[in-house]
Structure 1
Amino acid sequence: MLPAFVERDAVDALVAAQWSRILGEPPAALDTDFFASGGTSLKAARLAGALRGASGIKVPLQRIYELRTFQGISSWLRGDARTGNGRFVTLNATGAGTPLLLVPAASGGVVGLHRFGGDPVDRPVHGLQARGLNPQDGPPSSDLGEKVADFVEVLEASDMPRRLHLAGYCVGGILAYELARALQGRGWEISSLLLLNTSLYCPPLTVEEGMREKLRQLVAEAGLPAEVAERGAEAVLQELATGEDYADFDGRVRVFGSVGAAISGYAPQLADFPVRLFSTEDRDDPADIAATTGPVVDWPDLGLPDYRQYAVPADHFEMINHAPTLEAVEAVMAEIDCTGS
């Protein structure tokens, strides 16, 4: 048995979203068998069609039978150069509601957010990938304005409808807020901005400090000695022994550092689109609060003209896989779609 399922990239997130939509829950592990998990011939046909709708790649039904496992299906899709390498990713192509755009958090991509592409979210769901995850795209920027301008360029080159909801998890909420302001200034209609446990405590952080923080996280998760992180990205990758290409690994770590540097000392300007904050009890990290210089107000203190806040009965890391939270997010978007507020 392979380790418990954690999606590795945008391709995994895309497949997991459709798998969840068809079977009602994501795969338990990379080697989970579609048919052993409740898949039938009809559901296999639906999965093939859903994957084609999300990826733009024709998936023969016979391939689902041959590949069977999540890892097999995902690896086959990954073999197509168009899948997962783009900056604009589709997690679900269909649904009744106004489309939802997922803005990346510190990871720089849609990894971790695949549940928003499955039930109960009833709308097209797309996501952005930060520059730098694919080394061929060039290095990431640590300037917030440049990051937002880059996302605008990606969106305006896509076929994304000009009316949409935006959502950002954790620090991704800050990127989403600024992207919503930029898009609105270019004539896009922002149905809502959904903040998924986004804090306004943003202590000063350089790219290098952010990279070291990411390496320490990876080392701690792997149960390795803490001193390994201080030897740099190459040493950490060697110890992790994942087989990942160093350029890709270094890119991920640099993107994390660039996001942290970009939001350092952030203070939002007033916006007039609907803002909805879904907040857990552990939203604000005490370490970030202690390191933040100067007074910082919270979202409710900004005087936003259309703001509501919802308590989430899960912790920070659980909420993006927490079914009641997903249902609440969809209900809020559906209400706004119907009433406009």
Structure 2
Amino acid sequence: MELQLCDVWRRLLRRDDVGIHDDFFSLGGHSLLAIKLTVEVRRLFQVDLTAADLLSAATVAELAEIVRRGTADRKGQLVRIQQGAGGSPVYALPPVSGTVLLYPPIARAMGLDQPFWAVQSVGLLPGEEPLSSLEDISECFIEQLRTVHPEGAEWNLIGYSMGGLLAYETARRLTERGERVGLVGLLDTRITVEPSGDPDFALRALLWRGLKLNLDVDWLRGLTPDTRAQVLVERAVAAGTMPADFDADRLRRMVDMYQFNLDALAAYRIQPYDGTVTVFRVTDRSLEGDSLPDDLGWSEFAARAAVCDVPGDHFTMVEPGQVEVLGRRLREQLNLASTGAPAS
């Protein structure tokens, strides 16, 4: 089984030097290849894995154990991205897509010794009912994170975009309960998300950011949901942004997840936090339609809001070439928070 999995990795990663203890993402794996890998595992072994399973078992040896059992030992929405070498872990909360596939490069850039977990949104897997409010989402995440949080350790929470609001709300709730919170890292997160006047915002976001497709949204809107999903799958497969046997049901859940999270964001009313937040602010602000304060307004609600500049714009800050700097800055701020020094 390990030999077969190594062969799959060699083909997907276009490498000859794959060992059973190599990390998929360290060898150049990314979110699309992760999806393709789950498809190959299903084809070869008739075992249906999620991308979250792959993040939890990122080596051939670990993945082979899951395949032998026939299913993963899942901890709800929790995904261990990096085991690290001990110490206080970092917990990453999901952006509006609900997925956590953007976090492995950030974790690696922070250092392989850093324990790192992420939580994906409820509703991405079959049979799951999405949560309707950001407060309920935060409570659900706290309950799950407690199952892996080391006793007595401080809580370090980060989040990209919407994930930053989840990190803030989670930190606020933990502090109210007398728990120690260290780093609260907000990765270019605004304090509010205005309700979109565009009823197709979720569909457009998935089309352009996820599937890289330029299709007529008015035409898509006129299709039935089943036909629309099938068309999108066919076009994405042809464009190379989706594996050949990705199913339409999974695509519908992805679109729905965007909309559920956007609705939860629009209804959220931010409350004061008696602590420090660190805003990782992009230096390229050309995508911003209006002039925003350096701290994106967080000093209005947090006792202290520190600003840490990182290269790129809102989207490229987490991509290769920029994410390495983001990871280093996160590690620096994490170290400052652990010593009680003021964030810089």
Q: Secondary structure at the match of 1:108?
A: coil
| C-alpha separation in 1, matches of 2:183 and 2:329 | 14
* Aligned counterpart, 1:260: 262
| C-alpha separation in 2, matches of 1:190 and 1:312 | 23
Note closer, same or farther for the CA distance 1:303–1:268 as it changes in structure 2 (3 Å cut). Answer: closer
* Counterpart residue type for residue 235 of structure 2: E
* Counterpart residue type for residue 189 of structure 1: R
* Counterpart residue type for residue 279 of structure 1: R
| C-alpha separation in 1, matches of 2:287 and 2:313 | 12
Do the aligned partners of 1:201 and 1:284 also contact (CA within 8 Å) in 2? no
| C-alpha separation in 2, matches of 1:153 and 1:186 | 13
| C-alpha separation in 2, matches of 1:331 and 1:304 | 21
Q: Secondary structure at the match of 1:127?
A: strand
* Aligned counterpart, 1:105: 95
Find out whether 1:306 has 2:295 as its counterpart. no
Note closer, same or farther for the CA distance 1:199–1:145 as it changes in structure 2 (3 Å cut). Answer: same
Cα shift at 1:84: 6.5
Cα shift at 1:281: 3.5
| C-alpha separation in 1, matches of 2:85 and 2:341 | 18
For residue 235 of structure 2, the aligned residue among 220, 234, 239 is 239
Note closer, same or farther for the CA distance 1:212–1:195 as it changes in structure 2 (3 Å cut). Answer: same
* Aligned counterpart, 2:277: 275
Q: Secondary structure at the match of 2:155?
A: strand
Cα shift at 1:55: 3.7
For residue 314 of structure 2, the aligned residue among 313, 316, 333 is 316
Show CA shifts across 1:122-158 (max 9, x none): 421001011101022x2212322222222223223x2
| C-alpha separation in 2, matches of 1:198 and 1:280 | 10
* Counterpart residue type for residue 248 of structure 2: Y
Show CA shifts across 1:223-255 (max 9, x none): 444445423442323432442223322112111
Note closer, same or farther for the CA distance 1:81–1:219 as it changes in structure 2 (3 Å cut). Answer: closer
Cα shift at 1:4: 9.0
For residue 77 of structure 2, the aligned residue among 76, 87, 110 is 87
Q: Secondary structure at the match of 2:186?
A: strand
* Aligned counterpart, 2:44: none
Show CA shifts across 1:279-319 (max 9, x none): 114569546x69xxxxxx93354163232101112222222
Note closer, same or farther for the CA distance 1:218–1:237 as it changes in structure 2 (3 Å cut). Answer: farther
Do the aligned partners of 1:219 and 1:229 also contact (CA within 8 Å) in 2? no
* Aligned counterpart, 1:39: none
| C-alpha separation in 1, matches of 2:174 and 2:286 | 28
* Aligned counterpart, 1:167: 158
For 1:36-47, what aligned pairs fall within 5 Å after superposition? none
| C-alpha separation in 1, matches of 2:129 and 2:161 | 23
| C-alpha separation in 1, matches of 2:93 and 2:213 | 27
Do the aligned partners of 2:110 and 2:330 also contact (CA within 8 Å) in 1? no
Find out whether 1:183 has 2:174 as its counterpart. yes
| C-alpha separation in 1, matches of 2:284 and 2:64 | 36
Unaligned stretches of 5+ in structure 1? Answer: 6-14, 32-51, 65-72, 291-296
* Aligned counterpart, 2:45: none
| C-alpha separation in 2, matches of 1:85 and 1:248 | 20
Q: Secondary structure at the match of 1:264?
A: helix
TM (normalized to structure 1)? Answer: 0.70
Cα shift at 1:217: 2.7
Query: Number of paired residues?
Result: 287
Note closer, same or farther for the CA distance 1:133–1:74 as it changes in structure 2 (3 Å cut). Answer: same
Do the aligned partners of 1:207 and 1:261 also contact (CA within 8 Å) in 2? no
For 1:83-232, what aligned pairs fall within 5 Å after superposition? 86-121=76-111, 122-136=113-127, 138-156=128-146, 158-161=147-150, 163-205=154-196, 209-217=200-208, 221-227=212-218, 229-230=220-221, 231=223, 232=225
Cα shift at 1:112: 1.2
* Counterpart residue type for residue 309 of structure 2: A
RMSD of aligned alpha carbons: 3.8
